[in-house]
C-alpha cells in the first residue's frame, strides 16, 4: 500500500486541468455525453474524497484508471438494475454528441467515430480511449489499464482498424 | 497475396510497430526499418495508412466538457473556504470528541452490526449541499438517472410534487453514499443510498411496516429520519421539514413496480 511520503500528492486543483481529456475518454468508453459527464464527476468525487499519493508524475494516468473503475462500477450497476427490473427492451442510452465546434460535418464525423467505438470489444475500446483519445503513452496506458505495453499496442492497432472499417 | 503471407507480414510484432509508427511513437531506427519494408509491401502500406487514418480520427475527436460539468468539477477541486472551514471544524470536533468516540465505539458496533458506518452518520449528509444536477431517467420517467450499485433514485415529481434539486456523492467509512435532494416549495428532503451491505437500523429506532417494506424511523435533533433497505442497499431519507408519515410514504413508493426494492 502506498502511504504518505512514498509519492507526490495529487493536487486537486491541477487534477481539474484534465477535465476535457477525461470527458473525451469517458465519451469514448460509454458513447453518451450525459453519462460521460456523470462518470467524470463521479471520478473526481471519488479521487478527491481523500488525499491521493502517486508513485509517478502521471496524474492523467491515475485519473483514467479511476474513470475506468467508475465505468465498470456503472456497468455492474446497470446489469443489476436491468436484471431487477427485467426491462430488456429499454431504449439505448446513446444521445446526440454535439462537438464543441458546432460544425455539422465535424459533428457527423465525431458521431460516426463514437458509434464505431461503441461497437469495439471492451479491451480495444479502453486501449484506444486511453492512447488515442486521452493521449496517454503506451507505457502510461499499460499502467492505467493493468496490462502489458505490447498488449496495449496490439489492442490499439485492432481498435483503430475496426474504427476505420466502420467509418469507411 | 494469400492469407498465409498476409498473416506472415502482419505478425504481432509488426502490428505493434505499425501502431506506434502511425502515431509517431516508434523509435527512429525501427521507423526507418518498417518504412523500408512497407515500401515493398502493399499489405504493410495499406495497414499503415489505415492505422494513420484511425489514429487521426480518434485523436481529432472534438469534444469538450459542458459548462455544467465544469462547474460541478470546479466545486470539487477548488479550495472553497466553506469546505475548508467545515474540514477544520470537523477536525477540531474529532479531536475534542476523541475520548467520547472511543467510549461510544462499543455501542456503535453493537447497534450498527459492526459495519462502522451508521444510519445516523449517513443522515447527516442531509445538511450538506448538492454538488451537481440530476436528471430524470430518459428511459423511465419514474426514476432519476442516478443509482448506487444498480439501485436507482425515484422521480417523485409527478406523483408527489417533490422535484429533484441536486445530487452529491461522498465516501463514508469506505462506502459510497450518494444523496439526492428533493424540494417542494421551501421544504427539502435528502435521500441517500449507501453502497455495500445493508446497515442495521440504529438501536432505539421505531420499526414499522408499510406496503410490505420494513422501515425504521428515528429523530436526530430537529431532523426526522427513515431508513430501509432496497436490494440489500441501505436507504436513508431525512428531513427537518417533513414528518415520519410523509417520509414513510415517499420511502415505500414503488411507482407501480418501476422503483425496484
The 10s digit of each residue's pLDDT in B65-82 is 888 888 888 887 776 444
A140 CA to chain B: closest CA distance, Å?
Answer: 13
Q: Determine, yes or no, domain membership for B96.
A: no
User: Minimal Cα distance from A134: which residue of B?
Assistant: B59
Same domain, B145 and B225: yes
Same domain, B245 and B137: yes
Q: Determine, yes or no, domain membership for B76.
A: no
Same domain, B55 and B130: no
Residues of A in contact with B68 (CB under 8 A): 37
Q: Of the ranges B99-103, B122-126, B154-158, which one carries the lowest mean pLDDT score?
A: B99-103
Same domain, B185 and B250: yes
User: Minimal Cα distance from A153: which residue of B?
Assistant: B16
Total domain count, chain B: 2
Q: Determine, yes or no, domain membership for B141.
A: yes
Same domain, B119 and B212: yes
Task: Flag if B62 and A46 touch (Cβ within 8 Å).
Answer: no
Same domain, B132 and B244: yes
Question: A45 CB contacts (<8 Å, ≥6 apart)?
Answer: B76, B131, B168, B169, B170
User: So what's the pLDDT on residue B122?
Assistant: 92
Residue B145: CATH number of its domain: 3.30.200.100
User: So what's the pLDDT on residue B233?
Assistant: 92
Average pLDDT, chain B: 82
Is residue A97's pLDDT more than 80?
no
Task: Flag if B169 and A42 touch (Cβ within 8 Å).
Answer: yes
Residues of B in contact with A44 (CB under 8 A): 73, 76-77
Same domain, B16 and B135: no
Task: Flag if B58 and A113 touch (Cβ within 8 Å).
Answer: yes
Q: Determine, yes or no, domain membership for B98.
A: no
Q: Does B24 touch chain A (CB under 8 A)?
A: no
Residues of A in contact with B180 (CB under 8 A): none
Highest mean pLDDT among A65-69, B94-98, B222-226: A65-69
Task: Flag if A48 and B76 touch (Cβ within 8 Å).
Answer: yes
Is residue B2's pLDDT more than 70?
no
User: So what's the pLDDT on residue B89?
Assistant: 36
Q: Determine, yes or no, domain membership for B28.
A: yes
Same domain, B248 and B120: yes
B116: left (phi over 0), alpha (psi -120 to 50) or beta: left
Range of B55's domain?
3-59
Q: Does A150 touch chain B (CB under 8 A)?
A: yes
Task: Flag if A91 and B139 touch (Cβ within 8 Å).
Answer: yes
Question: A141 CB contacts (<8 Å, ≥6 apart)?
Answer: A61, A64, A127, A130, A131, A152
Supply the pTM of this predicted model: 0.52
Same domain, B124 and B55: no
Percentage of residues of chain B with pLDDT beyond 90: 45
User: So what's the pLDDT on residue B19?
Assistant: 97
Is residue B87's pLDDT more than 50?
no
Q: Determine, yes or no, domain membership for B143.
A: yes
Same domain, B19 and B139: no
Same domain, B235 and B122: yes
Same domain, B136 and B13: no
Q: Determine, yes or no, domain membership for B46.
A: yes
Give the pLDDT band of residue B109 (cuts 50, 70, 90).
very low
The grid cell for A63 is 485519473
User: So what's the pLDDT on residue A120?
Assistant: 92
Which domains, and CATH codes, for chain A? 8-95+103-167 (1.20.140.160)
Q: Determine, yes or no, domain membership for B93.
A: no
Amino acid at each position: 500500500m502506498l502511504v504518505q511520503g512514498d509519492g507526490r500528492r495529487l493536487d486537486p486543483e491541477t487534477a481539474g486541468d484534465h477535465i476535457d481529456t477525461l470527458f473525451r475518454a469517458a465519451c469514448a468508453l460509454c458513447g453518451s455525453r450525459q453519462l460521460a459527464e456523470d462518470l467524470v464527476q463521479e471520478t473526481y468525487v471519488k479521487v478527491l474524497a481523500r488525499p491521493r499519493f502517486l508513485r509517478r508524475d502521471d496524474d492523467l494516468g491515475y485519473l483514467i484508471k479511476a474513470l475506468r473503475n467508475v465505468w465498470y462500477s456503472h456497468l455492474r450497476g446497470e446489469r443489476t438494475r436491468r436484471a431487477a427490473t427485467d426491462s430488456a427492451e429499454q431504449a439505448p442510452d446513446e444521445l446526440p454528441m454535439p462537438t464543441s465546434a458546432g460544425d455539422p460535418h465535424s459533428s457527423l464525423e465525431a458521431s460516426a467515430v463514437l458509434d464505431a467505438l461503441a461497437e469495439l470489444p471492451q479491451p480495444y475500446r479502453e486501449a484506444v480511449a486511453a492512447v488515442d483519445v486521452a493521449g496517454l503513452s503506451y507505457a502510461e496506458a499499460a499502467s492505467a489499464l493493468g496490462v502489458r505495453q505490447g498488449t496495449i499496442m496490439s489492442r490499439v492497432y485492432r481498435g483503430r482498424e475496426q474504427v476505420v472499417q466502420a467509418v469507411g | 497475396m494469400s492469407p498465409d503471407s498476409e498473416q506472415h507480414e502482419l505478425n504481432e510484432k509488426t502490428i505493434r510497430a505499425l501502431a506506434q509508427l502511425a502515431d509517431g511513437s516508434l523509435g527512429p531506427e525501427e521507423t526507418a526499418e518498417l518504412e523500408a519494408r512497407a515500401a515493398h509491401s502493399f499489405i504493410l502500406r495499406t495497414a499503415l495508412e489505415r492505422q494513420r487514418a484511425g489514429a487521426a480520427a480518434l485523436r481529432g475527436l472534438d469534444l469538450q466538457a459542458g459548462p455544467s460539468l465544469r462547474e460541478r468539477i470546479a466545486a470539487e477541486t477548488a479550495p472553497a473556504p466553506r469546505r475548508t472551514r467545515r474540514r477544520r471544524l470537523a477536525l477540531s470536533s474529532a479531536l475534542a470528541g476523541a475520548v467520547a468516540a472511543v467510549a461510544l465505539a462499543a455501542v456503535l458496533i453493537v447497534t450498527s452490526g459492526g459495519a462502522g458506518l451508521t444510519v445516523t452518520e449517513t443522515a447527516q449528509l442531509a445538511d450538506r449541499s448538492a454538488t451537481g444536477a440530476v436528471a430524470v431517467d430518459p428511459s423511465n420517467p419514474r426514476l432519476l438517472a442516478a443509482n448506487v450499485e444498480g439501485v436507482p433514485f425515484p422521480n417523485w415529481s409527478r406523483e408527489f410534487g417533490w422535484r429533484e434539486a441536486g445530487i452529491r456523492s461522498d465516501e463514508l467509512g469506505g462506502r459510497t453514499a450518494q444523496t439526492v435532494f428533493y424540494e417542494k416549495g421551501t421544504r427539502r428532503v435528502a435521500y441517500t443510498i449507501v453502497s455495500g451491505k445493508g446497515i442495521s437500523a440504529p438501536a432505539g429506532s421505531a420499526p414499522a411496516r408499510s406496503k410490505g417494506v420494513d422501515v425504521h424511523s428515528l429523530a436526530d435533533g430537529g431532523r426526522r429520519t427513515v431508513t430501509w433497505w432496497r436490494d440489500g442497499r441501505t436507504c436513508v431519507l431525512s428531513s427537518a421539514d417533513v414528518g415520519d408519515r410523509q417520509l414513510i410514504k415517499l420511502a415505500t413508493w414503488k411507482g407501480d413496480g418501476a422503483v425496484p426494492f
